[in-house]
């Protein structure tokens, strides 16, 4: 194997493996509100963000994230669903 082939193989693997890791479905904790999270949040982004960010966000942080998604990014989430989502995140993924 030539050096050029080896470099190409490494670059190809670096591109393919992270993409395939994102294809695995995320299983959120089953608790009240998970249906609202799945219905609203994954319309715009992967649910992987929730467990990925959970080591960093406390209750106030999750409230701010939900508010940011609605006000800054325009997520079409009504007030009742927003409260249910924030409550779910704080109880199941907050620090």
Q: What is the pLDDT of residues 18-55, one digit of tens each?
A: 554 556 788 999 999 999 999 999 999 999 999 999 99
DSSP letter (8 states) at residue 45: S
What pTM, to 2 d.p., does this model score?
0.74
What residue segments make up the domains of the chain, in order of their start?
A: 27-93
In 41-93, which ranges are continuous DSSP H helix? 49-53, 59-71, 79-93
Query: Does domain 27-93 match CATH 3.40.30.10?
Result: no
| Contact call for residues 94 and 58 (beta carbons, < 8 A) | yes
Is pLDDT at 56 greater than 70 in this prediction? Answer: yes
Task: For residue 95, give both structure tokens.
Answer: 């620090």
CA atoms within 13 A on the CB side of 20: 6
DSSP letter (8 states) at residue 24: S
């Amino acid at each position: 194997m030539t050096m050029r082939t080896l470099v190409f193989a490494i670059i190809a693997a670096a591109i393919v493996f992270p993409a395939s890791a994102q294809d695995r479905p995320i299983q959120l904790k089953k608790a009240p509100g998970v249906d609202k999270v799945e219905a609203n949040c994954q319309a715009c982004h992967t649910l992987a963000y929730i467990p990925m960010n959970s080591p960093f966000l406390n209750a106030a942080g999750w409230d701010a994230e939900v508010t940011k998604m609605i006000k800054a990014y325009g997520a079409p989430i009504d007030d009742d669903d927003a409260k249910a989502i924030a409550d779910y995140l704080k109880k199941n993924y907050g620090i």
